[in-house]
Amino acid sequence: MIEVENLTKHYGQHVALDGITFSVGHGEVVGFLGPNGAGKSTTMRILTTFLAATSGSVHIGGKCVFEQPNQVRNLIGYMPENNPLPIDLRVRDYLGFRAQLKHLSKSIARKRVDEVAKQCGISDVANRYIGQLSRGYRQRVGMADALLANPELIILDEPTSGLDPNQTRSVRSLIRKLAGKHTILISSHILSEIEMTCDRVIILHEGKLLASGEMNKLISKSHLAVVTEIRASLIDVKNWASELALENSEFIEQKNGYVRCKFSGTKNNDLREEIFATVNERGWELRELSQHTPSLEDLFVSLTNGKEGNR
């Protein structure tokens, strides 16, 4: 559905995107992840034909974004960052106006406006002015607009920014409902959100692509961590750890003579049995032994850490 090759965008001296390559298949739900200023919105603006790139190529549904912008626009439903809406229109009139811009005939437009309003849960405010709506409702109006023409590809730039937890949840469940029928690209700097809604994630940082792939695979590529609490002296525990050749270890002394150890950077095999056996051998008391599957957050931090301040 989306083919991006070597995409580069300069704003004067500033390099916003630096040779990004990725592709998104039909029906995938892909999360675009990165800290503020990573280039997420710029990429989305180029995909939606709003901006041109400095170099590189972008194809959507086989159509070139730069050569055939109008064919590409027909395939896309887009909600820009901050979801800008005219405040002087009623919800129904706005959606009707947008439907006309998207080449829907009058009768189909009326039907679609009702459908998307229902789908997004804004039927009860359809006759109110957009300026009077709460942020959560406005966000859903923006999403309703993106859905109007039943596009193959839906691009949402930070759909949940500025929403309260309940509103966030309802937007998220809406996105999940859309999955499967449409290809969806969402950007966010909230990791849990991407984790909950997307099959695949693309991580951007300072205009560079750090990682791209299925969420589970990406996470499993990063290292597991084992946490254990043992009653022994700190020196004994350190010696024991170096015997076992455990890497990246952290030790924190606790009350009651316990030492809390965290071993990250271990290989994929499970260390818990070995730890338990050796601790048992020494006759130490053990009150915790657990393995932590890294979250997207860990992955994100490990990928972006130490890259701060390169600007």
Token duo for residue 282: 């020494």
**Which lies closer to other proteins via its Cβ, residue 53 or residue 185?**
53
Subset of 143-202 contacting other proteins (CB under 8 A): 145
Cβ atoms within 10 Å, residue 258: 20
48 is a contact residue toward other proteins (CB under 8 A)? yes
**Which lies closer to other proteins via its Cβ, residue 82 or residue 167?**
82
**Which lies closer to other proteins via its Cβ, residue 155 or residue 210?**
155
Can you tell me whether residue 135 is helix, strand or coil? helix
**Which lies closer to other proteins via its Cβ, residue 70 or residue 256?**
70
60 is a contact residue toward other proteins (CB under 8 A)? no
**Burial class of residue 185 in the structure, from the number of CB atoms within 10 Å of its CB (0-12 exposed, 13-18 middle, 19+ buried):** buried
Identified binder of other proteins from the candidate list 2, 29, 58, 76, rule CB under 8 A: 76
Choose one: 71-79, 159-167, 169-177, 263-271; the region binding other proteins (CB under 8 A).
71-79
118 is a contact residue toward other proteins (CB under 8 A)? no
204 touches 37 (CB < 8 A): no
201 touches 33 (CB < 8 A): yes
Please name which of 156, 144, 150 lies closest in space to residue 190, comparing C-alpha atoms: 156
69 is a contact residue toward other proteins (CB under 8 A)? yes
65 touches 59 (CB < 8 A): yes
- Residues shown for the chain: 311
6 is a contact residue toward other proteins (CB under 8 A)? no
The CA distance from 146 to 63, in Å, is 20
Choose one: 85-93, 168-176, 225-233, 296-304; the region binding other proteins (CB under 8 A).
85-93
Identified binder of other proteins from the candidate list 86, 162, 180, 257, rule CB under 8 A: 86
In what helix (H) or strand (E) does residue 55 lie, and over which residues does it extend? strand 55-60
Identified binder of other proteins from the candidate list 84, 162, 257, 265, rule CB under 8 A: 84
Residue with tokens 């009139």: 93
Question: Which parts of this chain interact with other proteins (CB under 8 A)?
Answer: 45, 48-55, 66, 69-70, 73-74, 76, 78-82, 84-86, 88-89, 97-98, 100-103, 145
